[in-house]
Amino acid sequence: MNVVPEQLTAKDFATDQEVRWCPGCGDYAILKALQRTMPEIGATPEKTVFVSGIGCAARFPYYMETYGFHTIHGRAPAFATGIKLSNPDLDIWVVGGDGDMLSIGGNHLLHALRRNVDLQILIFNNEIYGLTKGQYSPTSRIGTRSPSTPQGSVEAPVSAALFALGSGARFVARSVDTDQKHLPVMFKRAHAHRGASLLEIFQNCIVYNDGVFDGFKDPSVAADRQVRVEHGQPMIFGKEKNRGLRLRPGAFEFEAVTIGENGVTAEDIAIHDETNRVMATLLASMDPDTLPVALGVLYCNPAPTYETGVLSQAADVRAKSPNANLNKLLRSGYTWTV
């Protein structure tokens, strides 16, 4: 029986709870974009579950009128895996900050990705710990001054996208909190992908790390500092749409070139192939000081999901023993009667 659902709107996915992020926090924009996207992907509140760890970002579930589980720091992917194994019909979104997902939860993220559990995993990367008041995070750049690194941090940061690709993720994408056009597209792509989809969202923490991404986010520089990749399309950027990425001859890396300069033609610009892990890795590895930041779906190459494998094994066993009976099991093997 197919009941035609009433057309839902963004409002149907908003709760009556007061949103408690700092005014101006990038999280608001992400929340708004997702609430707008939910009806467009045909989401139903009762079948949708938001699972989060702990952090500012992890407050997200309270604001979505769906099922939600605000769990413990770093472990959301593990909770989500249990939920998926119990009810594979649920549409599960995992939300956390960079500290939540890549520091305390790095291990769980790695395993959810390599197992390929069908989850949409959103990392709100603000390169700082928000909720605990501004300590540096595993994505913070070297030299980050924070309450715990008054002289500047000395740790090399982790890249969420490279980490995901190295973990065996089959879907890796990036977007920006304030980009209300691009962000919904990424949500849709992540949602459409069967398996673990990792979406890194560059999010501004206005209180503890304001403007950390301005180097590529600010409208005045965005066109030159970002490249929006799309499968099958040349990787073009720049205000004049005349710049592009090409494979540096004789090396395994991209370089930024200008069409019409030094004999570069439009044909020289590399075409994005989102099914190519090596290309995704090159895009994720680009040094933001010299090359644009790649946004969009860097990698999408579906593979069988974890829960399908587990549950089909279970179904096979069940099919082969339709009369499974516990009393019989207890009486199998050697028994004797007194």
Partner 1 sequence: MASSAAVAEISAPREARESVVVRFAGDSGDGMQLTGGQFTQATALAGNDLATFPDFPAEIRAPTGTTFGVSSFQINFGSRRIKTSGDAIDVLVAMNPAALKVELPNVREGGVIVADVGSFSERNIKRAGFAANPLEDKTLDAYRVVEIDVSALTMEAVKESGLGKKDALRCKNFWTLGLVYWMYGRDRKATVDWLNGKFAKRPDLAAANIAALNAGHAFGETAELDDMPSYSVAAAEIAPGQYRTVSGGEALAWGLVAGANKAGLEIMFGSYPITPASPLLHILSRLKQFGVVTFQAEDEIAAVCSAIGASFAGHLGITSSSGPGIALKGEAIGLAISTELPLVVVNSQRAGPSTGLPTKTEQSDLYQAVYGRNADAPLVVLASRSPSDCFETAVEAVRLATKYMTPVMLLTDGYIANAAEPWLIPDVDKIPPFNVTFRTDPEGFHPFVRDEKTLARNWAVPGTPGLEHRIGGIEKAYGSGHISYDAANHQKMTDTRKAKIDGIANDIPEQIPEQGESSGKIAVVGWGSTFGPIDRAVSNVRADGHAVSHIHLRHIWPMPRNLGALLANFDKVLVPEMNTGQLVTVLRAEYLVPAERVSKVSGQPFKIGEIEGAIRAHLEA
The site for partner 1 (CB under 8 A) is made up of: 15, 17, 45-47, 49-51, 61-62, 64-72, 75, 77-83, 85-87, 89-90, 107-108, 110-111, 310-311, 313-314, 317-318, 320-321, 324, 326-327, 329-331, 333-338
CA distance 215 to 198: 23
φ, ψ of residue 300 to 5 degrees: the values are -150, 110
Q: Pick from ligand TPP, partner 1, ligand SF4, none: which does 206 bind, CB < 5 to 8 A by kind? A: ligand SF4
Query: Residue 207, interface with ligand SF4 (CB under 6 A)?
Result: yes
What strands, in cross-sheet order, belong to the sheet with 236-237?
Answer: 236-237, 243-247, 254-258
| SS3 (DSSP) at 294 | strand
Q: Pick from ligand TPP, ligand SF4, partner 1, none: which does 99 bind, CB < 5 to 8 A by kind? A: ligand TPP
Residue 15 CB partners (closer than 8 Å, separation 6+): 62, 63, 64, 65
Q: Residue 104 half-sphere exposure, CB side, CA atoms within 13 Å?
A: 14
Amino acid at position 300, single letter = C
| Structure token digits, residue 191 | 């949602």
| Structure token digits, residue 119 | 């989850």
Least distance in Å: CB of 49 to ligand SF4?
23
Q: Pick from ligand TPP, ligand SF4, partner 1, none: which does 136 bind, CB < 5 to 8 A by kind? A: none
Query: Residue 25, interface with ligand SF4 (CB under 6 A)?
Result: yes
Asked if 266 and 259 touch (Cβ cutoff 8 Å), the reply is yes
**How many Cβ atoms sit within 10 Å of the Cβ of residue 74?**
24
Q: Pick from ligand TPP, partner 1, ligand SF4, none: which does 22 bind, CB < 5 to 8 A by kind? A: ligand SF4
Binding site for ligand TPP (CB under 6 A): 54-57, 73, 96-100, 124, 126, 128-132, 137, 205
Quick one: 105 or 184, whose CB is closer to ligand TPP?
Answer: 105
Q: Which stretch binds ligand SF4 (CB under 6 A): 80-88, 98-106, 143-151, 206-214?
A: 206-214
Quick one: 161 or 236, whose CB is closer to ligand TPP?
Answer: 161
Give the one residue of 34, 43, 54, 56 binding ligand SF4; rule: CB under 6 A. 56
Query: What's the distance, CA 8 to chain centroid?
Result: 25
CA distance 94 to 249: 40
In the complex, which residues of this chain contact ligand SF4 (CB under 6 A)? 21-22, 25, 27, 56, 126, 130, 205-208
